[in-house]
Amino acid sequence: MDSQSSELLSANQSPAFILFVAGDEPNSRMARDNLAKINDALFAGKLSLQIVDVFHSPEKALIHGVFLTPALIRTSPPCRTMLLGNLSMETEVRRYLGQTTV
Partner 1 sequence: MTKKVKPSYKELEDLLAEAEQMIRAILSGEVDAFISEKGIYLMRLKEIEEELRRSRNELQQQVNQRTVELEATNRRLKKLNAELQDFTYIASHDLQEPLRKIQNFGGLLIDLYGGSLDETGRDYLERMMSAVTRMRNLIDSLLAYSLTTQAGPYKQVDLNKSVKQAVSNLEMLINEKQARLEVSDLPLIEADQVQMIQLFQNLIANALKFQPAGSCPCVKIESRLDTAGQTCEIRVTDNGIGFEKKYLDRIFLPFQRLHDRDSGYQGVGMGLPICRKIVEHGGGTITARSRPNQGSTFIVTLPLKCHQSPESPDSP
Question: What residues make contact with partner 1 under the rule CB under 8 A?
Answer: 22, 25-28, 54-55, 58, 61-62, 66-70, 80-86, 88
Which residue, 54 or 97, is less far from partner 1 as judged by CB? 54
CB of 14 to partner 1, least distance (A): 24
What is the closest distance, in whole angstroms, from the C-beta atom of residue 78 to partner 1 in the complex? 13
- Minimum separation from the CB atom of position 98 to partner 1 (A): 16
Q: Select 47 or 61, whichever has its Cβ closest to partner 1.
A: 61
Q: How far apart are CA 20 and CA 8, in angstroms?
A: 23
Q: How far is the CB of 96 from partner 1 (least distance, A)?
A: 10
> Which residues, at least 6 apart from 66, have a Cβ–Cβ distance to it below 8 Å?
20, 54, 73, 82
**From residue 61, how far is each of 19, 21, 56, 89, 94 by CA, in Å?**
10, 10, 10, 23, 23
Spatial contact of 80 and 73, defined as CB atoms under 8 Å apart: no
Query: Cβ closer to partner 1: 47 or 83?
Result: 83
Residue in 55, 59, 61 with CA at minimum distance from that of residue 18: 61
Q: Please say which residue, 3 or 81, places its beta carbon nearer to partner 1.
A: 81
